[in-house]
Structure 1
Amino acid sequence: MKDIISKKQVNGLKGVITIPPDKSISHRSLIFGALCEGKIKISNFSFAQDCRATLEIVKALGCGVVFSDERLLILTSPKTLCAPSKTLDCGNSGTSMRLLAGLLSGYNFKSILTGDKSLSKRPMKRVIEPLSLMGAKIKSNDFKAPLEITGGKLNPIEYFSPISSAQVKSCILLAGVNTIGETTVCEKTLSRNHSERMFEYLGANIQTGHSENGFYTKIQKSKLIPKDIEIAGDISSAAFFMVMAAIVPNSEIIIKNVGINLTRTGILDVFDKMNVTYEILDKKTVSNEEVADIKVLYSPDLKGCDISGDIIPRLIDELPVIAVLAAAADGQTVVKNAQDLRNKESDRISSLACGLKKIGIDIVETDDGFIINGDKNNFLGNVELDTYFDHRLAMSFFVAGLLCKNEILIKDFNWVNTSFPEFLKLFTKISA
């Protein structure tokens, strides 16, 4: 594994960059595309390791994949998916495992979903439970991977999810689209809605709305229409460069073609609270998703804020780098209701607090979040940091290093390849 050094950025970061395609939408383009009998073109596809895992799995299920160029692939789906002849390896990708569990539950064959050491520790009861209620037979290792799924004819259900999770919701919808009758998923807080948008785009019989119990999505058995899909840039990847620009003096960065789906832009609401200077430019709609350029400038008057409640699902993946932003702000930032961070690639609350404390940041871990007392003078450095097999922590610690008085060594930085293999290349471009 590769170790790298992050050190104080003396000069401002400047330039125009294009960040990698959205991972969430890339996964869905393959999985939903596998349900479209026929051929679709997927442009600006993410070849991050997580998405490669999904790609290999849809191939194992009988889909044909041809690469036209670096970012364009052509997916051809059979009339019905085939029983896989091997175990389906999801690697480090929780999205792959949870969404594919829903897809596979509707097919009359047996399949096994497995993953790496990290993924095998993550909770799967959240999808096993509703799929079992629908009639799927799933064996697991104490509700963890590997998952042995025996699918078949399913029953529609009305399910109130105990957590607001796009993965849980999407899993149930993918099972529901192959189930006669109406399947309903309810959640207290609206989670990412890429699945609903893509189902709508591909012609599914789907309905969304809001009631006194929260947000609901209803889907009926549908035949999806093959349509070409263009994928927006990933705002979760853009977040690292957005925070860099905000905290490094004399910086000005424009990030092109970023997805600004309302269920993903919680970080922009936090920017408003914390006095970050930014602009949204050239808004448009691409494959039923909103896209824009985001311009961020150095923001010297950052202030702390409270982050909790309904906003959490809209920025759950960005919270590690938001913590770095909070550490550079004046005043206290309190994050609550983010307990699901403990179920990511690492226990992100504990791992984040441990790493930032080593740097010198005043951070206190709580059961469902953390408290940071911001002060730029606390960025001391002169430490070695573990990444805990977690790509987002690796990049967040790198961003923190740009303000440190002494350099920091980040171990096993290769984990960034899970989502953002171009990270260092793009940083070199804007720091030259």
Structure 2
Amino acid sequence: MTSLSASKSSALTGTIKVPGDKSISHRSLILGGLAVGRTTVTGLLEGEDVLATAAAMRALGASVKRHEDGTWEIHGRGIGTLDEPEDVLDLGNSGTAARLLMGVVAGHPISAIFTGDASLRRRPMGRVITPLGQIGAAFHGRAGGKLPLCVVGARDPLPIRYTLPVASAQVKSAILLAGLNTAGETTVIEPEKTRDHTETMFRHFGAEVRVEDLPEGRVISVTGQPEFHGRDVVVPADPSSAAFPAVAALITPGSDILLEAVGLNPLRFGVFETLIEMGADIEITNRREEAGEPVGDIRVRASELKGIEVPAERAPSMIDEYPILSVAASFAEGATVMRGVGELRVKESDRLGTMARGLAKAGVRVEEGEDTLAVTGSSNGVAGDALIEADLDHRIAMSFLVLGMGAESPVAIDDARTIDTSFPDFAGLMRGAGAKIQERT
């Protein structure tokens, strides 16, 4: 176990390139493995979560190799022709990998056993199991649909029309992935827009995708059995990861950093919109497009923040960023009220409860509701002087290290190992910008 501590830092400066977008990295490996021909991926996030997806795609028959220059090359098997894995698919800490790959297996006439670490085995899979069962897959496992879980893919998968009961890009993507091997059109209706990387990348690889905004919600349809061909993919820097150095710069006086080549997908950009509303000095330059995704550079300067109300409808565009937003709120003047965040209770940890307990321990005034989190900042700053239990959650761990960079006394986390699932060398990169992060003895 590695425990890290962060203490009050001087100004953060310089150019920072955070790791590649995790969502796009997962999807590039999966779709490359389903395509015919060669896919090359540049900028892939080489965190543990994504490497678990790479290993799973190899087990399903795709050739997945990393070259010395950091480029990844995938030779796919083609839709409908995956191999049955000889061993259990261990997805580590990654709910994205588990749910998306369940969709892949569900649409193929193969069986696979899924498992993961202690955190992933606690997470519910029922919301994926229900629609994939309608497509024709069968599931055998623990009560509540929790891992370990055996997925028996459909021999003749059926196209379905399914309305998501809760906005979830993972569930939507699992259904669309299963729909790739159906004879017909698979449709997902989402009540609120969620990140659309799957739809964008489907088009990039050659699938026919229709998206309509109707009174019933956003309607996404994919035509099954497309001509799927290998493509080049350039993965932008992950906006979720970029939020950590961004908030660190905002709360550290004198800071001025540039975050390079960050994904600007509007369905992922809610945290930056929120920070700007709070008074953050954030400027976006050098806008461009890579593989259908908008990209740009983000300059962040230290700012005096103010508390605001964050509407529930923004939650799908920033669901992973509420922990680090609550850190920004701890240094803002007044209350920041975050609504519609109940989904945080079924992430890698109960992020609402874990953040509330940790913030209170560090001297921050916080109120936790079933679906809300209210954080009241103070002009007197944050006391700190706390050891936080991160509960095997990489975003909780990084959030409290950022809190420590601005607090009056150091803040430590009990276990930093999970940070590598999404942000390898987070501590080293932040130290390079001027942060004071060290191993706790």
Q: How far off is 1:376 after superposition?
A: 4.3
What SS does structure 2 have at the residue aligned with 1:270? helix
Return the alpha-carbon distance in structure 2 between the equivalents of residues 323 and 309 of structure 1: 15
Is it true that 1:107 corresponds to 2:111 in the alignment? no
**Structure 2 residue aligned with 1:117:** 118
Return the alpha-carbon distance in structure 2 between the equivalents of residues 22 and 234 of structure 1: 4
**Structure 1 residue aligned with 2:70:** 71
What is the count of residue pairs matched by the alignment? 430
Mapped contact 1:172–1:185 kept (Cα < 8 A): yes
Where do 1:324-403 residues align within 5 Å? 324-403=327-406
**Structure 2 residue aligned with 1:149:** 151
Q: How far off is 1:223 after superposition?
A: 2.3
**Structure 1 residue aligned with 2:48:** 49
Among 153, 172, 177, the residue aligned to 1:174: 177
TM-score (norm 1): 0.98
**Structure 2 residue aligned with 1:20:** 19
Q: How far off is 1:337 after superposition?
A: 0.7
Among 187, 192, 201, the residue aligned to 2:190: 187
Where do 1:280-299 residues align within 5 Å? 280-299=284-303
Mapped contact 1:327–1:376 kept (Cα < 8 A): no
Consecutive unaligned residues of structure 1, counting only runs of 5 or more, are none
**Structure 1 residue aligned with 2:223:** 220
Return the alpha-carbon distance in structure 2 between the equivalents of residues 64 and 181 of structure 1: 28
Return the alpha-carbon distance in structure 2 between the equivalents of residues 392 and 66 of structure 1: 28
**Structure 2 residue aligned with 1:3:** 3
**CA deviation map 1:321-355 (0-9, x unaligned):** 10011111111111111100000110000000000
Return the alpha-carbon distance in structure 2 between the equivalents of residues 404 and 247 of structure 1: 9
**Structure 2 residue aligned with 1:81:** 82
Mapped contact 1:8–1:401 kept (Cα < 8 A): yes
Return the alpha-carbon distance in structure 2 between the equivalents of residues 182 and 410 of structure 1: 48
What is the identity, as a one-letter code, of the residue corresponding to 2:6? S
**Structure 1 residue aligned with 2:245:** 241
Return the alpha-carbon distance in structure 2 between the equivalents of residues 140 and 237 of structure 1: 33
Consecutive unaligned residues of structure 2, counting only runs of 5 or more, are 436-441
**Structure 2 residue aligned with 1:160:** 163
Is it true that 1:323 corresponds to 2:326 in the alignment? yes
What SS does structure 1 have at the residue aligned with 2:402? helix
- Indicate the RMSD between aligned Cα atoms, in angstroms: 1.1
What is the identity, as a one-letter code, of the residue corresponding to 1:298? A
Mapped contact 2:107–2:135 kept (Cα < 8 A): no
Identity %: 39
Return the alpha-carbon distance in structure 1 between the equivalents of residues 289 and 296 of structure 2: 9
What is the identity, as a one-letter code, of the residue corresponding to 2:298? I
**CA deviation map 1:45-72 (0-9, x unaligned):** 1110000100000001111122222521
What SS does structure 2 have at the residue aligned with 1:262? coil
Mapped contact 1:308–1:338 kept (Cα < 8 A): no
Mapped contact 2:243–2:272 kept (Cα < 8 A): no
Return the alpha-carbon distance in structure 1 between the equivalents of residues 84 and 227 of structure 2: 20
Mapped contact 1:248–1:402 kept (Cα < 8 A): yes
What is the identity, as a one-letter code, of the residue corresponding to 1:195? T
Mapped contact 2:312–2:338 kept (Cα < 8 A): no
**Structure 1 residue aligned with 2:29:** 30
TM superposition outliers: structure 1 runs of 4+ over 3 Å: none
Return the alpha-carbon distance in structure 1 between the equivalents of residues 51 and 346 of structure 2: 22
What SS does structure 1 have at the residue aligned with 2:100? helix
Q: How far off is 1:3 after superposition?
A: 0.8
Is it true that 1:129 corresponds to 2:130 in the alignment? yes
Return the alpha-carbon distance in structure 1 between the equivalents of residues 360 and 321 of structure 2: 19
Where do 1:272-311 residues align within 5 Å? 272-300=276-304, 302-311=305-314
**CA deviation map 1:365-399 (0-9, x unaligned):** 11012111111425112221111100000000011
Mapped contact 1:360–1:378 kept (Cα < 8 A): no
**Structure 1 residue aligned with 2:96:** 95
Mapped contact 2:362–2:383 kept (Cα < 8 A): yes
Judge which range, 319-328 or 370-379, deviates more.
Answer: 370-379
Q: How far off is 1:309 after superposition?
A: 2.2
Change (3 A) 1:77 1:349: same
Return the alpha-carbon distance in structure 1 between the equivalents of residues 64 and 179 of structure 2: 26
Return the alpha-carbon distance in structure 2 between the equivalents of residues 118 and 409 of structure 1: 21
What is the identity, as a one-letter code, of the residue corresponding to 1:132? G
Mapped contact 1:362–1:378 kept (Cα < 8 A): no
Q: How far off is 1:278 after superposition?
A: 0.8
**CA deviation map 1:278-325 (0-9, x unaligned):** 10010000011011000000112x111111222101011110010011
